[in-house]
Structure 1
Amino acid sequence: MQIFATYEYSSLLEIVITELEQKGITEIYAVPLELRKKEPRLMDSIHRSDGLSFIDKGMIFGFMLSTIGASKGFVWAGGPVVWGLAGAVTGFGLGIVLNWIIYLVKRHKNQNEIRKGKKGDVILIVTCEENQISVVEDILWDHKALGLAKTR
């Protein structure tokens, strides 16, 4: 029987391995996962999307400012069509700039967290007998496993 557990790389992982060895379980395999080395792509493709959109706020601001511009255009020189289009272009640009600033702030914040020494995860694979499953599970959960899975 194999039990898979994920851990953050910390001293708790060493304690878990030591406790399992003290219980007589010797087939323990720890696999560290590599951290991302390069920045993810900014623009999405048709096959992959991360939910990040730069035009959503631009469309909203474009709609709002075009409505205001068209209504004020009845009074201003140039007419409602010109001021509606000017409001749409201005609002769309404002929304894109706002999204870009928010993206840069979030990205900078995430990069600072990574630079501060965020550690990778480790997959721990424990091979044991059927009668040892509950003991192994208890040890893994007691030492803050992030997740657990069993296979036969």
Structure 2
Amino acid sequence: MQVFSTFNHSIYLELAIVALERSGIPKSQILAIPLEVKDDHFLLFDSIHQSDGISLFDIAAGLATAFAVIGVSVGFILTWGPIYWGLIGAASGFIIGFLINFIYYRVVKKRSKHEQTAEVILIVECIPEQTDRVIKILKTNFSKGLAVLS
């Protein structure tokens, strides 16, 4: 029988492997496969088929509206008039809002995000009588997921 489990790459994985070896399972029947960490880059534009949940246009649209209103109001006094100053205000508000979000997600969010550790798949080959003991060892060492293939 094969027992599959997933772990975060931590000391609990090492403890589980040692406990499995002490329970009578040889090293040749234990396989640990680390998974690659996914690159968390974001796209500027979401598509119909994929969205990363990050919107760079929400603050940009709000600031564009606010700056357009201010530009129109002030434009009645200035020489180019309210239409030009409204458009200038909308464009500058949109650019400022876009840059705020872009810098926030590129610099601040990337730094403050905890470094994700890669997961490890642990495969244990055992006889059917050892399966319950193997499952108990894996669960006590905080296995994230567990599957048994007979």
TM range (shorter): 0.7 to 0.9
Deviation, 1:140, is: 0.9
> Structure 2 vs 1, CA of residues 45 and 93 (structure 1 numbering), >3 Å: closer, same or farther?
closer
Contact persistence 1:58–1:96 (CA under 8 A):
yes
Work out the CA distance in 1 between the residues paired with 2:70 and 2:54. Answer: 28
Deviation, 1:31, is: 1.0
1:3-44 per-position Cα deviation (integer Å, ceiling 9, x unaligned): 2212233332222122223333342211122345x7746545
Q: Structure 2: any 5+ residue segments left out of the alignment?
A: none
Residue matched to 1:120: 118
In percent, how many aligned pairs have the same letter? 39
Q: Does 1:10 align with 2:10?
A: yes
Deviation, 1:127, is: 2.6
Contact persistence 1:69–1:87 (CA under 8 A):
yes
The normalised TM-score by structure 1 is 0.73
> Structure 2 vs 1, CA of residues 76 and 101 (structure 1 numbering), >3 Å: closer, same or farther?
same
The normalised TM-score by structure 2 is 0.74
1:60-110 per-position Cα deviation (integer Å, ceiling 9, x unaligned): 210122123224434554332122112101110110121122122222444
Amino acid at match of 1:94: I
Counterpart mapping for 1:42-61 below 5 A: 42-43=43-44, 46=47, 48-61=50-63
> Structure 2 vs 1, CA of residues 2 and 119 (structure 1 numbering), >3 Å: closer, same or farther?
same
Contact persistence 2:60–2:95 (CA under 8 A):
yes
Contact persistence 1:44–1:50 (CA under 8 A):
no
How many residues end up aligned between the 2 structures? 146
Q: Any idea what SS the aligned residue of 1:30 has?
A: strand
Counterpart mapping for 1:18-57 below 5 A: 18-26=18-26, 27-35=29-37, 40=41, 42-43=43-44, 46=47, 48-57=50-59
1:127-148 per-position Cα deviation (integer Å, ceiling 9, x unaligned): 3344443322221121122222
Residue matched to 1:86: 88
